[in-house]
Chains A and B, each alone.
Chain A
Amino acid sequence: MPTPDIYSRLTAVFRDVFDDDALTLTPATSAADIDEWDSLSHVQLIVAVEQEFGLRFTSREILRWQNVGEMAEAIAAKLNA
């Protein structure tokens, strides 16, 4: 289970990458909810998330995420592993 700490760190990363200090995340947040979240910024976001948590994901893992909740689950799973 993703902890609130994961979400708060993710929120900070998202705010930085999308340059929006008012941005809030829920597990259901997806690219459809954030204007700037497109195919290009997606990769910048992944790089920033990996740096923040000191993790490395495979392309297959990343391509399956459809929203922030699935991303957070994957982070939690890797951190607990």
Chain B
Amino acid sequence: MPPRLRNPLLLLASYAVYWLLDARCLWLLVAATAVAYALGLAIERALQSGRERLASALTTLGVTAAVALLVAFKYLDFFAAEAAALLGVLGVKATWTALHLVLPVGLSFYTFKLISYLVEIHRTHLAAERDAVAFAAYVAFFPTILAGPIDRPAAFLPQLRAPWRPCAADLAAGFRMALWGAVMKVCVADLLAPLTDSVWADGGATAAGWAFLLYPVQMYADFSGYSLMAIGAGRALGFKVAANFNRPFLARNVAEYWRRWHMSLTGWITDYVFIPLNLHWRDAGRVGQAAAVTVNLVVIGLWHGANWTYLLFGLYHAALFLPLIRSGAFARRKKFRAARWGLPSRADAGRMALTYLLVAVAFVLFRAPTVGAALGFFAHLATAAAFAPPAVAGFRLLYVGFAVAALAWEYVARDRACPLDFAAHGLLRHRAARWAVYYALLALLYTHASGPAVPAFIYTQF
């Protein structure tokens, strides 16, 4: 199918999906797309006619407008309420009527696509897209509109210019990815959720240790599961969507963890926040590097929403980077190699366990509704009740076994983007054997999906 037929269909489908998700805010998506489209062309024209200043001004305008949208919907109520409280402390009586703006679906994700589009044109790395339909289809691409991955224009727009040849291999690969993603979501994340939810519901008074240790796995299974389903849906349509996770729990320090976790966001922030800041502060050496890392992680933290807990989340991660920057380990990339029996070496396993625990501490800040609640949770962690067997309705120890088994299989299949890509492992050579596994997993999904009320994906709230 040629692009001129496929792209309008794709755009229509994407807008239809958005309409179903958030009919109120479709106009905002369309308007933001139209403005970015026009700005992209104008920036390119200004650059070509040698008007650098105008190009910079237009880029700044576009980026500021996109950030302002995010701030208005995500942070305005929070900052205004906090400012009013602060003024109150200083004896000035200020009141703020909260606007209670509801965050439009996917706003955090599509504004980041638009910003990278404008910045890449300004950096002369990308030609402005002339085909408005293709551009709009890139921004609204339905498999990823809900919660990413955040595709970059330079990687995605060319795919919209190529003709579409439906192919069985893409369809099968997409199906395998989506199936594994669904297994992670339904048979790992959603089965652990009742435990962490109930522990957090009473602030961690009992079984805090269980929630502490299992929440990172739940979070990972939820978000990486969602991501694989989105990537798989894209693949089935013949598109290569950006990767989001690369076995984050194999990380041997926090820097490596961030190269493996929510990669489409961290890559974006590296390119548009970290590198410019690091360049700007390059004469300050390691101090400059530490400052750039801190800003970077605070931005990642606050991107999730307006709450002191997210700010602390970013600062805590930045603090974990300081020893790595000091020792130079920050910049070293050591490829993971298995030792005996295909397992990590003892030293690597120790570093992975430590990194996991450090990350789990950050997830307490991430999950806690307030800083006070996080501190209360940490206090409960130090009590004997923290590791008592949890008695939670809807939770069984078997579910921890499911999680361990799924992570173990992902470890075995770590060199493949999709853990169900058996052919690439030289496993299950018989088609019937592969399909037996697929059917078994589908049956597992069917029996464990919690009826019509499947819990929402955690990341759709951001």
Contacts from A to B (Cβ < 8 Å): 35-36, 38-44, 46-47, 59, 62-64, 66
Contacts and interface: CB of A to CB of B under 8 A. Distances in A.
Interface of B: 123-125, 270-271, 274-276, 278-280, 282-283, 289, 330-331, 333
Given A39-B270, A64-B123, A64-B124, A46 B331 contact: no
Which of A40, A42, A47, A59 has most B Cβ within 10 Å? A40
Given A39-B270, A63-B123, A64-B123, A47 B282 contact: yes
22 contacts: A35-B333, A39-B270, A39-B271, A39-B274, A39-B278, A40-B278, A40-B289, A40-B330, A40-B331, A41-B331, A43-B282, A43-B289, A44-B331, A46-B279, A46-B282, A47-B282, A59-B276, A59-B280, A63-B279, A64-B123, A64-B125, A66-B125
Given A39-B274, A43-B278, 14 more contacts: A40-B278, A40-B289, A40-B330, A43-B279, A43-B282, A46-B282, A47-B282, A47-B283, A59-B280, A63-B275, A63-B279, A64-B123, A64-B124, A64-B125
B276 A63 contact: yes
A38 B333 contact: yes
Nearest to A62: B279
Nearest to B272: A63
Contacts of B283: 47
B70 to A, nearest CB: 23
A59 B429 CA distance: 53
B123 A43 contact: no
Given A63-B123, A64-B124, A39 B275 contact: yes
A6 to B, nearest CB: 21
Task: Sort A-B residue pairs by CB-CB distance and give the 5 closest, nearest first.
Answer: A40-B331, A59-B279, A43-B278, A39-B270, A39-B275
Nearest to B330: A40
Contacts of A63: 123, 275-276, 279
A42 B289 CA distance: 12
Contacts of B333: 35-36, 38
Nearest to B52: A60
A51 B276 CA distance: 19
A29 B457 CA distance: 42
B266 to A, nearest CB: 10
B276 to A, nearest CB: 6
Contacts of B280: 59
Contacts of B270: 39
B155 to A, nearest CB: 13
B334 to A, nearest CB: 12
A59 B277 CA distance: 9
Which of A41, A42, A43, A66 has most B Cβ within 10 Å? A43
B55 to A, nearest CB: 10
Contacts of B123: 63-64
Nearest to B335: A35
Contacts of B275: 39, 42-43, 63
A46 B283 CA distance: 11
Contacts of A39: 270-271, 274-275, 278
A22 B256 CA distance: 27
A4 B281 CA distance: 31
A46 B288 CA distance: 14
A25 B462 CA distance: 43
Nearest to B288: A43
A35 B334 CA distance: 11
Nearest to A58: B279
A63 B278 CA distance: 12
A25 B220 CA distance: 41
Contacts of B330: 40
B10 to A, nearest CB: 29
A39 B274 CA distance: 8
A72 to B, nearest CB: 17
B411 to A, nearest CB: 24
A35 B332 CA distance: 11
B126 to A, nearest CB: 11
Contacts of A66: 125
A72 B331 CA distance: 25
B416 to A, nearest CB: 20
A66 B279 CA distance: 16
